[in-house]
Amino acid sequence: MNADDPRRGDVAELAWLLPAPAERELPAGRQHTLKEHLISELRLAASPAVGRPATRRRMPVIALAATGAAALAAVIVLAFLPATTPGASPAAVRLLAKIATAATGQPAPQVRNSQFWYIKSWVAYQGCKQVLGNNGVLGKPYDCVMEKPHERQIWQSVSNLCVTGLLREHGQNIPLADAGNRQHCPDRGGVNDPTYRFLQSLPTDPHALLSLIERRMSGQQPPPEEAFITIGDLLREAIAPPRVSAALYRAAALIPGVTVVADATDAIGRHGVAVAMTIEGARNEWIFSKQTLRYLGEHDINIAHGSTIGEAAVLQRAFVNRAGQIPG
């Protein structure tokens, strides 16, 4: 490569961002679980004892339904999505390729259908009030406040969403019982609410995987934005086989508007390099260790104010034999 080659700057940038890794640090397990559709959130808010609480943590918003003199409070999870810029950053493509290679080298766990994945994280997200009119149209959010950082633990069946899991958060044990909301049982889930067995079934070709994600999530957001958010959710709160994890990273490298942030910080202050996308004034960062390329967490930033609107740090991932069991 000669000195005038325009790729020279990208290579130098990536070399600076990623020092040569030492021995690979093996995470205990890996990756995450999932958000509900908006209508499911509204139904759960109206009947909190019925159905499955949202397991994805994306920008909680309190929706107040204006129905005559009464107001109905509903908690909905909204993705504060980032404006697509044409073309992915070459540095981001190279970084994601290195991360995918590191993921491929991780050992594939032996998992029984009776087991649960366990994910412990430290999280805080912004909550906003929002008026929901009689016509079902949400008004502009207001009175947005960051929740207090806290621990979040989740147990989910690796093979069947009809099996009761558990969410432990804010001092509460919340059963994740989905059988009543499922069209059939057993249910391996889907892109928006996968089990480990579903993730095992995904294609490992990144083009095919990205196409599948965009097709399954069609209509919720423009395809690039929805794909980035969906993959980010999977990174934070699901566990995928190593080859599928690698395919997710390579699929993200195909999304227009993906960039690199040289220094980013997760919810417990760990520094790393980030892959990011900015849409509608918010930048969503996936943070990785510069030394091991291991996923650390995420950071969502309001670009206009430079303020944090969401953050997470993954503390532990493992497979256990029952909901509520803490890995040794």
Using a pLDDT cut of 70, give the percent of the chain over it. Answer: 71
State how far the Cα of 10 lies from the Cα of 124, in Å rounded to an integer: 34
How would residue 125 be classed by pLDDT, with cut points 50, 70 and 90? Answer: very high
Residue 17, pLDDT > 70, answer: no
pLDDT digits (tens, 9 = 90+) for 171-180: 999 999 765 6
Counting every residue written for the chain, the total comes to 328
Mean pLDDT of the chain: 78
Higher pLDDT: 255 or 8? It is 255
Residue 30, pLDDT > 70, answer: no
Give me the mean pLDDT over the 255-262 stretch.
96
Find, among 110, 119, 232, 245, the residue nearest to 176 by Cα: 119
Query: What's the pLDDT at 85?
Result: 40
Neighbours of 151 (CB within 10 A): 13
Higher pLDDT: 62 or 253? It is 253
Using a pLDDT cut of 90, give the percent of the chain over it. Answer: 61
Residue 21, pLDDT > 60, answer: no
pLDDT digits (tens, 9 = 90+) for 307-316: 999 999 999 9
Q: What is the DSSP string of 119-160?
A: EEEEEEEEEEEEEE-TTS-B---EEEEEPPPEEEEEEEESS-
Question: Distances in Å between the alpha carbon of 317 and those of 151, 185, 283?
Answer: 14, 26, 26
Kindly tell me the burial class for residue 15, based on how many C-beta atoms sit within 10 Å of its own C-beta (0-12, 13-18, 19 or more): exposed
pLDDT digits (tens, 9 = 90+) for 35-82: 333 333 332 333 332 233 344 444 333 333 333 333 333 322 233 333
Residue 206, pLDDT > 70, answer: yes
Give me the mean pLDDT over the 282-303 stretch.
97
pLDDT digits (tens, 9 = 90+) for 81-94: 333 345 579 999 99
State how far the Cα of 114 lies from the Cα of 163, in Å rounded to an integer: 9
Distance of CA 28 to the CA centre of its chain: 18
Task: Give the DSSP H/E element, type plus range, for residue 155.
Answer: strand 150-157
Give me the mean pLDDT over the 203-222 stretch.
89
Q: Is 220 helix (H, G, I), strand (E, B) or coil?
A: coil
Give me the mean pLDDT over the 239-245 stretch.
97
Count of alpha carbons within 13 angstroms of residue 126, beta-carbon side: 20
How would residue 230 be classed by pLDDT, with cut points 50, 70 and 90? Answer: very high
pLDDT digits (tens, 9 = 90+) for 137-195: 777 777 889 999 999 999 999 999 999 999 999 999 999 976 566 778 899 999 989 99
How would residue 220 be classed by pLDDT, with cut points 50, 70 and 90? Answer: low
Query: What's the pLDDT at 310?
Result: 96
Neighbours of 176 (CB within 10 A): 21
State how far the Cα of 118 lies from the Cα of 316, in Å rounded to an integer: 8
| Pick from 94-98, 176-180, 211-215, 216-220: least confident | 176-180
